[in-house]
Chains A and B, each alone.
Chain A
Amino acid sequence: MKPKYVYISFAIVFTFFVFFLVKRDKPKTELTLIERTGTINSTSEWLNSKAAIQKLLSDLRRNPDNIKSKMQLAFAYIQESRETGNHGYYDKAASQLIDEILEKKPNDYEALCAKATILLSQHHFAEALTTGNQIIKENSHSAYGYGVLTDAHVELGNYKEAIKSADEMISKRPDIRSYSRVSYLREIFGDYEGAIEAMKMAVQSGIPGMEQTEWARAYIGHLYEMIGKYEEASEQYQLSLYHRPHYAFGLAGMGRIEKAKQNYSEAVKYFSNAKFTIKDYAFYDECADVYRAMQKPDSADNELREAIDMLSAGNEKESNSVHGHYSDRELALLYLKKYRYDLALQHALTEYNRRPKNIDVNQTLAWVRYRRGEYAEANKHIDVALGTNSKNPLLLFQAGLIKSMSGNLTEGKKLLQQSLTINKFISNDLMWEAKGILNSVKHYTLK
């Protein structure tokens, strides 16, 4: 053998050896609990969660094969993900534990429930649907399984199936989980009154002060906002803050109320507090809107950059990984605000290719197309977005503009009228856009 080949062979063997050693010796990282920051780190709930999680971690250090502790820790991390908004970290931590369980017990009911929940959080809806079906196959009486199916079908745009699953779920177990899903479906099918009623039932079946309950209560506020009832919305947000002080979604809700009153400084304070509590991109996004209303474009851009960075960290680096989060729709909307229509389209299309039947995805893509002046394409997607007869005032307003610009003035006018009847407080930007259209019509000026 020539020396050259000897060296090459040696190098290959050495490389494999090193690789083997590195791989073999690489210690498994224990994904432990991260200290909460902000105001939620001083609650008794946090202290108790922390004690419970530390006990579970301690159990697992002593007995790494304790499946029960592993499962409980996974669910604790899933909950912590909700509480802190740190989905990237905790979803990964929970996934790691659940994967270990499923490796040993592939049909374990609880592990499948946890896996589906994580997949939904990561927006891996097709996989969540598969897992949901697996749960039902294992246990046809599981309200949890039907909850997973409801969420996955909604997100994939299978609305008839979603309704069927939600009705099945609530027949198994009427509670905060099923009432809130019925509420959401009523909302997207255009029944705000029924949605509010169902969400109120959800709140009444939850524990006041717990995150889930206050999420539902804050969502009632959101529903009131949608139909322009800001006083009622404010009441719900304040109630959520009373029952769960510093609750980020209560704070953000109050931020929107203050913004509606044009108390922009107060609004920024609320959003800042919400951000301090939970690092969620949406609060940065909403804060950017307030800064724009305050004529502070640089501050707005900073907020948007933060929001994009947060989502991109999970999306671009890991979009194809098992534990990655899909955030393309959200990124598309953020890039629209940054006037980066090329990137907006790229992300909107990525999401559309995943979920071509989902109304939100189609609304997003339609709006991106509209911004690009591609009215025919926009029209095609806005028709899909209107498919559930949603009364979302922004959707209707956008649809009105798209229809108008694509030549269907009668329909456009009707949709705009409908939108403003539901909620007259529509976006400042969009109103001026309507003005632009209107000003091009002779004899008319928007005051």
Chain B
Amino acid sequence: MQKKSTKKSLWISLAVVAVVTSAIMISNSFLDASSHREAPLIANDPLADNTDLYAFRSPDDTNSVTIISCYVPTELPQGGPNYYSFGPNVRYEVHVNNGSSATEDKFIYRFTFSQMNEDSTTFFNIRLGKQNLKTTYTCEKSSDGGVSFTTIVSNGVVPPNNIGPRSIDGPVGLNTPYSTLMSNAVATATSGETIFCGPVDDPFFVDLGGVFDLGQTRAGGSGVDAPRDGLRCKNTHAICIKAPIASLQKNGLSVAQAANILDPDFVIGVWASASRQQIRTINGNGTETHSGNWVQVSRLGMPLTNEVVIPIGQKDFWNSLTPYQDGTYFDSLFCNPELGLYMDNSQFGAAVPALSALRIQRASPTVLGNVDFGNGNDGLYVLYGNAATTGTALDTAIFGKYLLRDNQPRSVDLLPIFYTGVPNLAPYQLATGKTAGNPLSPGKPFINNFLPTFGDMLRLNMAVPVTPRNSPAFSSEGIIAAAVSGLTDPMYNTTTTLEFIPNMDGFPNGRRLEDDVTRIELQAVAGAALAAVGLFYDDYVIGQSPVTPNLLGVLGYTTGVEANDTTFNSSFPYVQAPWSGYGLCAGGSIVLSIKPNGGLNIGAPEMMMEAFPNPASTQNTIRIRVANRANVKLSIYDGNSKIIAVPLNTMKDKGLYDIPVDLTRFGSGVYYAVLANNNQTVQSIKLVVNK
């Protein structure tokens, strides 16, 4: 029934009518727009995603320490039009604890970024010397635990993304080499630090597809399923700070004044964070405010803690805490690590063949009996209160109450590595010089990064000398390499004297850019640190060589990706310039996350391809990787979506295939190679032909 006018009508004021009659008529239908389009529940926040943290003594300026904190994961070099940058509404912070307080940071470096457009008439990021989304920053420093801040860099320059040669080097662009843009962006803070903020090559390297596919790394695979650095050709955004050691040391001492190379007063704990501002829905008085608390949404100390250790459901909570609040919330996760189950034949050891070389100690022989480090067992808790622990770190009068926990066997190694640092006390000394079968006896010192704050931080003893990057002894195995040298190298294994062993300055004593932290952490979960201090593997016989097949298996383990995909610079900021959007690295595929709380869920695709060279003029090659037998069809389309060539359309066994593509009859322009797996398109890449 249609409504009709009745006598119950009304006057509407003339003013209202005037408005009405002059109005553009518009339908009301938008008000009923699709009810399915609810606000998103699944989303990531890459601009506030702290991906990696490094802290190391600067190799070319050994009186200083460099801290590098990276944000924004897996940036594609050819990211246009949506090039990433630091977020304007994000508070980025780097925190340093130098032991002067166990409950709060000593220094906080806070970075805030802003953007401006210099030429809003173009959609190009850069044109004729003008830059859009030009980013600058302010760095403030707190030296009182965050009570007050002082600006130490104003209007700091963030270099643009490395879009391509025309935008960067060319006269129609910025007309400046990228290296110059980077060096021009290095600022000196009023408090003495050297600072750089900007896009860089992602210095991390890891077989993402393998590691996050339940640890199924691909080293030694068939060659078809070869390990791949998931961060190859990817960029990230880095905040780099180089600070004099004396400015960080708790008493203002220079490194020359250290008592020895493991001086406990030179330990710092570093962590980084990103925060966003909370806003209220409605205030009590009906108004709202946009100046709410800053909520930490990401933090990072030790690598891979967040990714591998913290359960998905706890990530919001974990990210919101400081290391000082970690307390007992998460430490049990390190004491019975899930990964340990896959390194234990009595558990799920057979489930991940790639980890078969990594077996934890289930019956480590000692003079006090065999020790079981399998999840849920007691480990060294059997020594709790035992007189044999007197004077050691396990003495209940020292740290025994923290380190010895029933049914939490890894409270003696993984927990201190991640949560407190490792003190220079037995049993945390190398087995060199120890009584056979007695890990509690004094051994050779090799680490002291103990900073008892009971939380996730990257701990660095700044007194430990630097291993030159060009030294033959330099190893991406960090402390594990140092331990191996200290145990087996006649240069170091004849005395218990404290001396510098190469790579004592490596992870987990800080983290150098070169350190292969994935491998080191997996080896540590497999009990490598326990073995280093004399809790050898099950095949060890007391009194005989500890270099057993089990130990060699752990030490020989590799993920297959042990180095970055490019070099590092020898001077600050050490990280490499970002990959160019027009270079060989361009043309990769976007990594998608499909999980509710972030995380990279990248499985190795069944089929994929890359083209080289690209751009090309007369011929290029398309390399296709086929994981399982399938019909492989490769088609080339022109810019009008017309098929102009089908270089391959046949069944192929698993393998790598290089398909040459003759470009002589192609004119200059953009083409698309489309790859289909059993008639399902799986990838397309842009081919550029330059004649």
Contacts and interface: CB of A to CB of B under 8 A. Distances in A.
Given A56-B603, A174-B295, A204 B12 contact: no
Given A167-B281, A191-B288, A259-B27, A48 B591 contact: yes
A53 B594 CA distance: 10
Contact of A205 (B9, B23, B47): B47
Interface stretch (A3-11, A97-105, A436-444): A436-444
Interface residues of B, number: 96
A75 B42 contact: yes
Contacts of A49: 592, 594
Contacts of B290: 194, 197-198, 201
Contact of A293 (B27, B38, B48, B280): B27
Interface string B1-34: 1111111111111001101111111111111111
Nearest to B6: A405
A334 B131 CA distance: 49
B316 A142 contact: yes
Contacts of A417: 12-13, 16
13 contacts: A52-B594, A52-B605, A109-B312, A175-B276, A181-B39, A219-B39, A280-B36, A282-B34, A416-B12, A425-B25, A426-B26, A431-B20, A438-B10
Interface stretch (A13-21, A22-30, A113-121, A316-324): A113-121
B663 interface: no
Contacts of A380: none
Contact of A51 (B19, B44, B682): B682
Given A174-B278, A259-B26, A371 B33 contact: no
B41 A147 contact: yes
B677 A54 contact: yes
Given A44-B590, A54-B606, A243-B81, A175 B313 contact: no
Contacts of A242: 81, 123
Most chain A Cβ neighbours within 10 Å, of B34, B297, B589? B34
Interface stretch (B82-90, B394-402, B416-424): B82-90
Given A52-B602, A117-B41, 6 more contacts: A48-B589, A176-B43, A215-B40, A330-B35, A409-B11, A424-B23
A85 interface: yes
Contacts of A126: none
Contact of B36 (A79, A121, A167, A219): A121
Interface string A62-85: 000000100010011011001001
A103 to B, nearest CB: 19
Contacts of B601: 52, 72
Given A52-B601, A404-B9, A372 B1 contact: yes
A37 interface: no
Given A174-B278, A179-B279, A68 B214 contact: yes
B3 A113 contact: no
Interface of B: 1-13, 16-17, 19-48, 81-82, 87-90, 123, 214, 276-282, 288, 290, 292-293, 295, 297, 311-314, 316-317, 319-320, 589-592, 594-597, 601-606, 608, 628, 677, 680-684
B279 A170 contact: yes
Contact of A144 (B20, B589, B592, B596): B596
Contacts of A439: 5, 9
B9 A441 contact: yes
B26 A52 contact: no
A216 B316 CA distance: 22
Contacts of B591: 48
A54 B680 contact: yes
Nearest to B313: A109
What 8 A-B pairs are tightest by C-beta distance, nearest first? A141-B317, A212-B40, A289-B27, A109-B313, A282-B34, A208-B82, A180-B39, A428-B25
Given A110-B596, A198-B279, A407 B313 contact: no
Given A327-B35, A333-B32, A72 B595 contact: yes
Interface in A372-404: 372-373, 392, 394, 404
Nearest to B214: A68
A216 B41 CA distance: 12
B297 A175 contact: yes
B597 A175 contact: no
B36 A413 contact: no
A341 B1 CA distance: 6
Interface residues of A, number: 142
Contacts of A286: 27, 29-30, 33
A335 interface: no
Contacts, number: 337
Q: Is the interface of A mostly helix, strand, loop or mixed?
A: helix
B682 A50 contact: yes
Nearest to B684: A47
A270 interface: no
Contacts of A281: 34
B288 to A, nearest CB: 5
Contact of B33 (A282, A412, A429): A282
Contact of A394 (B4, B28, B589, B677): B28
A296 interface: no
Interface string A103-146: 00000011001100100110100000000000000110111100
A370 B3 contact: yes
B295 to A, nearest CB: 5
A260 B1 contact: no
Contact of B596 (A58, A113, A201, A211): A113
A89 interface: no
Nearest to B82: A208
B27 A185 contact: no
Nearest to A41: B681
A425 B24 contact: yes
A25 B317 CA distance: 47
B313 A51 contact: no
Contacts of B6: 405, 440
A282 to B, nearest CB: 4
A341 B3 CA distance: 11
Contacts of B214: 68
Contacts of A186: 281-282, 288
A173 B316 contact: yes
Given A120-B38, A205-B48, A222-B33, A174 B11 contact: no
A447 B4 CA distance: 20
A330 B595 contact: no
Contacts of B46: 207
B38 A225 contact: no
Contacts of B5: 436-437, 439-440
Contacts of A201: 89, 277, 279, 290
B682 A413 contact: no
A290 interface: yes
A141 B589 contact: no
A406 B48 CA distance: 54
A385 B29 CA distance: 18
Nearest to A411: B10
A227 interface: no
